[in-house]
Amino acid sequence: MRITLSIRRFDPERDHAPHEEAFRLDVAWRSTTVLDALIRIRQEIDSTLAFRHSCRSAICGSCSMIINDRHTLACKTLVGHEIERHGPTIRVEPMRNLPPLKDLTVRMEPFWDKARLVTPWLESADGAGTIPDAVLTKETRSHLHNVDACIMCGACVSSCSSLAVSPGFLGPAALAKAYRFLADPRDRARTRRLEALTQADGVWDCTRCNFCVEVCPKDVQPMEAIVRIRRAAITDGMTDTIGAGHITSFVDVVRHEGRLNEGRLPLQMLWRHPAALLAQLPLAVKMLVRGKAPLPWHPPLPSIRAIRGLFGRWRRASSWTN
Amino acid sequence: MRYAFFPGCVAQGACPELYQSTMVVARHFGIELVELRQASCCGAGVLKEASPELALSLNARTFGMAQRLGLPLLTICGTCQGVMCSARRELEDAPRRDAMNASIDEPEARYQGGLEIKHLLWAMIEDLGVDRLKAAVVRPLSGLQVAPFYGCYILRPSGDLDHDDPFHPESLETVITALGATPIDYEGRIKCCGFPILLEKAEIAARLGGENLVDAKTHGADCLVTPCPLCHMSLDMYQRRAEQAMGRSIGLPILHFPQLVGLALGYSPKELGLGRHLVPVKKVLQKIGVGG
CATH (domain of A97): 3.10.20.30
Does the pLDDT value for residue A210 go beyond 50?
yes
- pLDDT value of residue A317: 65
CATH (domain of A142): 1.10.1060.10
Assess whether A140 and A74 both reside in one domain. Answer: no
In the structure, what pLDDT confidence band is assigned to residue A129 with cuts at 50, 70 and 90? low
Facing A260 at nearest CB: one of B9, B54, B61 = B9
**B91-123: pLDDT as tens digits:** 999 999 999 999 999 999 999 999 999 999 999
Contact A269 B109 (CB under 8 A): no
- Domain end: A55, A82, A106, which one? A106
Assess whether A212 and A132 both reside in one domain. Answer: yes
Assess whether A36 and A122 both reside in one domain. Answer: no
Assess whether A38 and A88 both reside in one domain. Answer: yes
Residue A197 maps to a domain: yes
Give the pLDDT of chain B (292 residues) as one tens digit per residue. 999 999 999 999 999 999 999 999 999 999 999 999 999 999 999 999 999 999 999 999 999 999 999 999 999 999 999 999 999 999 999 999 999 999 999 999 999 999 999 999 999 999 999 999 999 999 999 999 999 999 999 999 999 999 999 999 999 999 999 999 999 999 999 999 999 999 999 999 999 999 999 999 999 999 999 999 999 999 999 999 999 999 999 999 999 999 999 999 999 999 999 999 999 999 999 999 997 5
Q: Which residues touch A214 (CB under 8 Å, ≥6 apart)?
A: A159, B155, B156, B157, B158, B166
Assess whether A140 and A216 both reside in one domain. Answer: yes
What is the reported pTM?
Answer: 0.96
Q: What is the spatial distance between Cα B195 and Cα A128, in angstroms, rounded to a whole number?
A: 42
Residue A322 maps to a domain: no
> How many structural domains is chain A composed of?
3
Assess whether A60 and A144 both reside in one domain. Answer: no
Assess whether A162 and A60 both reside in one domain. Answer: no
Residue A321 maps to a domain: no
Domain that holds residue A168: 109-235
Assess whether A209 and A276 both reside in one domain. Answer: no
Facing B49 at nearest CB: one of A247, A306, A307 = A247
Contact A68 B156 (CB under 8 A): no
* CA of residue B198 relative to chain centroid, distance: 18
What is the Cα Rg of chain B in Å? 19
Assess whether A9 and A22 both reside in one domain. Answer: yes
Assess whether A127 and A182 both reside in one domain. Answer: yes
Task: Give me the helices (H) in A161-318, please.
Answer: 161-165, 171-182, 190-197, 211-215, 222-235, 242-257, 265-270, 274-279, 281-289, 304-316
Burial class of residue A200, CB neighbours in 10 A (0-12, 13-18, 19+): exposed
Chain A residue numbers with beta carbons less than 8 Å from the beta carbon of B278 are 286-287, 290
Q: What is the spatial distance between Cα B34 and Cα A99, in angstroms, rounded to a whole number?
A: 53
Residue A123 maps to a domain: yes
ipTM of predicted complex: 0.96
- Domain end: A235, A259, A274, which one? A235
Assess whether A39 and A98 both reside in one domain. Answer: yes
Residue in chain B lying closest to A208 (CA): B196
- pLDDT value of residue A319: 44
Assess whether A31 and A147 both reside in one domain. Answer: no
Residue A135 maps to a domain: yes
- pLDDT value of residue A132: 67
- Domain end: A74, A91, A106, which one? A106
In the structure, what pLDDT confidence band is assigned to residue A232 with cuts at 50, 70 and 90? very high
Tell me which of A65, A242, A314, A319 to substitute to probe the interface with B (most B C-beta atoms closer than 10 Å).
Answer: A314
Contact A162 B208 (CB under 8 A): yes
Does the pLDDT value for residue A321 go beyond 50?
no
